[in-house]
Chain A
Amino acid sequence: MFFYYCDLAWRSIRKTPMLSMLMVLAISIGIGITITTLNVYKTMSYNPAGDRSEVINSVQLWSQGLDTWDEFIANITYTDAMNLRNNDELSLKAATYRTGLALQSDNPKIEPVLQSVRVTDSDFFRIFSVPFLYGSYWDANVDLRPAYQVVISQKLNLRFFDGKNSVGKTVFLDRKPYQIVGIIDDWNPQPKYYDPLNGAFNDAEEIFIPFSLTGQEEFDVWGNTSGWKFETMITYNDRLASEKVWIQFWTELNSEDERQSLQGWLTRYVEQQRAIGRFTDTAKTPSESVQISDIDKWLEDNDVVPKDNKILVGLSLLFLSVCLVNILGLLLTKFLKRAPEVGVRRAIGASRGQIFSQYMVEVGMIGFIGGVVGLLWAWGSLTALHSYFSMDQSVTGLDASMWIITPLIAISTAVLAGVYPAWVVCRTKPSVYLKAQ
């Protein structure tokens, strides 16, 4: 019966090609726009931490003075980062920021390049489950006693060492030799959740060096440095001693107890710092001057999904509803025009249910074609976004879930639009139309 209805539906669609095309056009454009904005939204709001989202936490401190910032800032000062690094109660902890250094190898054929570099502690790799191809991260001792060791990406390893195991070999960063201790396998979380402040959809750094080198190597900071009071920063030591915030701090909390205990430690820490004249904004209590953010909160606080995108999703859903109303109207006029035909079919024995299902099959078919065309629209517009507006590939690639979401939206939109007209038409009284014949 279903295939017979499909056949009938196809004939009916072909009988009114203009109207059917209009309906398919309306539904496909509505779906095309909705899927495009939904796709960008979905990929942007993706949480790469997965089920570790609550385990990975960053720490923010209300270190500012009175009447300065009115919300928690993602970064903390060097002083606070160093004190947190010394907190032995934390099992895994890593301070981190971004810098840039010129990379060279022994291979004279390869010109030096300026590379974005992540400065961090060994625990960083464990907190963020960074996969290693060869070797591993540097020893925990290096976090206390600086050594010139480096972890590089497989991509750099391919370029400089033909992809062979290069652990133990040397690369030069700003002409200083660093010993390779590990090579990372493919790892590029999008959004770049461990540092969304420098562009949430940038690629992950390909070079990682110990945070403990900061004091002696005086790395530039490639990222935001904010201050709430005037402090001259002439020397690098001025920066380290200042109240400027520029470092992110990450830790792993495996239970509510661990969270409570960190909260307690931080509260005591704030009290201690207040006693020595820091954290001068006392409008907040010490325990309120502390914020521990898991990844969900962190992504939300750092506006990883721009508000523009949320507005677009809302407007495109409204747009889809206009298309739905449009199709509803068209279907209604079309079905009503066929009421005499229905009258005859009813008179010779078709049940209401059969008439209803026949029309729903027709509507579903229109929805399906609209969905397929809509997916093409979406694919085209995502490609256009990538090439004309240089949006990142990771955001404009069609998300796998769209293969399920699109037909779902398409068919449910069509069915929603079709139920009322089909219901109206199957209620046709055979007698009215037979008489008119």
Chain B
Amino acid sequence: MLHIKPILSSLMRSKSAPILLLLQIILSVAIVANASFIINERLSLMQRESGYAEDQILTFSVYNFDPAVDNIKQNQVDQQILRSLPNVIDASSSNMLPLSDSGWMDRYVDGPNPDTAKSTPGFAFYLGNEHLLNVMGAKLIAGRNFTADEINTNLDDSGMMAIVSQPLAKAFWGEESPLGKTMYQGEQTVTIIGVVDKLQGAWVDNENFEYSVIQNIDFGGNSSNKSYMVRALPEHIPALEEAIRKALHAENPNRVFDNFQTLTELRNLTYSNHRLMATVLSIMVVLLLLITALGLTGMVMFNIQRRTKQIGTRRALGARKRDIIQYFMVENYLICIVGGVIGGMLALVLGQQLMSLYSLPMVPVIYPIASVIGLLVVTTLAVIVPAAKAANISPAMATRSV
């Protein structure tokens, strides 16, 4: 039997302390619900599979500053050198690096007339040769890779082909296979020859992050600033940087090497804002629960001291230890549940504000509910210790001074 009525009336008699507790619970639920929703959002962003053999890919840039150099030839020589280095599985130049927050975005249209043609969603636009797929470690699920004699060097060459990512294929062609389709880029035609399972783009916050295309252009010849990706087993990568510098420098000293990074490092850097947000908010939630619990314990402890006589009297009149503990627990749960309901509603209002101000998704109702449950657990722990202590008050001691 829970004696809710006497507890309620005792709460009503000294209102200020329970009201403060209520306020604290309300605010805590509102904060914890929204914070944990944001944390969860960020964590699931970071956990997405990229489709790359991340820890096997070393990326770097080369800048040839000798104006006399033939970029196309130099690029081919450099790639030969890279592939012949010991422990290198494969190497390729590329116009952009995955997960790097910087790169090319483009679209195709499905007909020659720009006024009537339908456009694909924007996609990350990788330009590379027949080695690029292997370097990326992407899984081909339909069609084929480029062959060496199909590789172009310029954007306006003919015979353009493309490998598209499965999410892009699904978004534009639905269940139909994109293989063999002809797409257009201005006057240029592009034939789809392959589909890869997964191939993320460069911008982790972009809604088209999963949409990518590789086109058969060896881009390293187009500019004096080139990016390369080299694939090797993780244990061989640390030694590779020096080997690459040395080999390429020996071939042509008029260049600068920069930005040696594994794809894992690049990914971590790109996601660092999200990791930061998740970390800061997690710390905030933990501290908030800690402070709430400690504050509650302190308050209950003082309440008990104040009510020592009352407790002693109740014990003398036959209340069991359980009843005393129960009294404090029920008191706590009453406040927690009322606070939780109001706090949950405040959490949704706050979530709505965040949604309209910063276009975050709306907080699902499960988050306030989970926060209330979490708070119930924390407050139980915070109350049970002082309550148990109170139950041990001997009736004789407590009533002696009466």
Closest to B259 in A: A114
With an 8 A cutoff between CB atoms, is A231 at the interface? Answer: yes
With an 8 A cutoff between CB atoms, is B56 at the interface? Answer: no
Contacts of B261 in A (CB 8 A): none
| Set B16, B66, B280, B302: member contacting A175, Cβ < 8 A | B66
Task: Give the contact stretch, choosing among A6-14, A85-93, A385-393, A406-414.
Answer: A385-393
Once A100-B225, A220-B223, A337-B306 are accepted as A-B contacts, the answer to whether A330 and B63 lie under 8 Å apart by CB is no
Instruction: Bits for A240-254, please: 1 = Cβ < 8 Å to B, else 0.
Output: 000000000000000
Task: Give, as a whole number of angstroms, the nearest-CB distance from B136 to chain A.
Answer: 24
Instruction: Bits for B65-76, please: 1 = Cβ < 8 Å to A, else 0.
Output: 111000000000
With an 8 A cutoff between CB atoms, is B354 at the interface? Answer: yes
- Chain B positions 14-69 with a Cβ under 8 Å from a chain A Cβ: 16-17, 20-21, 23-24, 27-28, 30-31, 34-35, 38, 63, 65-67
Task: Give, as a whole number of angstroms, the nearest-CB distance from B14 to chain A.
Answer: 9
With an 8 A cutoff between CB atoms, is A318 at the interface? Answer: yes
Instruction: Bits for B260-272, please: 1 = Cβ < 8 Å to A, else 0.
Output: 0000000001001
- Identify which of A26, A112, A315, A391 gathers the most chain B CB atoms within 10 Å of its CB: A315
Contact A329 B256 (CB under 8 A): no
- Chain A positions 92-123 with a Cβ under 8 Å from a chain B Cβ: 100-102, 112-114
Contact B298 A19 (CB under 8 A): yes
With an 8 A cutoff between CB atoms, is B159 at the interface? Answer: no
- Chain B positions 338-381 with a Cβ under 8 Å from a chain A Cβ: 354, 357-358, 360
With the chains together, A30 CA to B306 CA distance in Å?
29
With an 8 A cutoff between CB atoms, is B158 at the interface? Answer: no
Contacts of B357 in A (CB 8 A): 307, 310
Contact A220 B295 (CB under 8 A): no
With the chains together, A302 CA to B63 CA distance in Å?
30
| Set B34, B35, B223, B302: member contacting A337, Cβ < 8 A | B302
Once A114-B258, A329-B17 are accepted as A-B contacts, the answer to whether A385 and B288 lie under 8 Å apart by CB is no
Contacts of A328 in B (CB 8 A): 20
| Set B185, B291, B302: member contacting A230, Cβ < 8 A | B185
| Set B275, B276, B291: member contacting A326, Cβ < 8 A | B291
Contact A329 B67 (CB under 8 A): no
With the chains together, A181 CA to B323 CA distance in Å?
88
With an 8 A cutoff between CB atoms, is A306 at the interface? Answer: yes
- Identify which of A175, A306, A318, A385 gathers the most chain B CB atoms within 10 Å of its CB: A318
With the chains together, A351 CA to B69 CA distance in Å?
92
Instruction: Bits for B279-320, please: 1 = Cβ < 8 Å to A, else 0.
Output: 111001001100110110011001101100000000000000
Contacts of A311 in B (CB 8 A): 38, 354, 358, 360
- Number of residues from A at the complex interface, CB < 8 A: 53
Contact A175 B155 (CB under 8 A): no
Contacts of B358 in A (CB 8 A): 307, 310-311
With the chains together, A29 CA to B295 CA distance in Å?
13
- Chain A positions 2-49 with a Cβ under 8 Å from a chain B Cβ: 18-19, 22, 25-26, 29-30, 33
Contacts of B255 in A (CB 8 A): 102
Contacts of A112 in B (CB 8 A): 65, 254, 256
With the chains together, A292 CA to B284 CA distance in Å?
41
Contacts of B280 in A (CB 8 A): 312
Instruction: Bits for A144-157, please: 1 = Cβ < 8 Å to B, else 0.
Output: 00000000000000
Contact B185 A424 (CB under 8 A): no
5 closest A-B pairs by beta carbon, nearest first, are: A102-B65, A333-B302, A326-B295, A329-B20, A114-B256
Question: Hey, which bits of chain B sit against chain A, CB under 8 A?
Answer: 16-17, 20-21, 23-24, 27-28, 30-31, 34-35, 38, 63, 65-67, 114, 154-156, 185-186, 188, 223-225, 254-256, 258, 269, 272-273, 275-277, 279-281, 284, 287-288, 291-292, 294-295, 298-299, 302-303, 305-306, 354, 357-358, 360
Q: Knowing that A102-B63, A322-B24 are A-B contacts, what are 14 other residue pairs whose CB atoms are under 8 Å apart, sorted by A's residue number? A: A33-B284, A100-B63, A102-B65, A113-B256, A114-B63, A114-B256, A232-B186, A308-B273, A311-B354, A318-B30, A333-B302, A337-B302, A337-B305, A389-B279
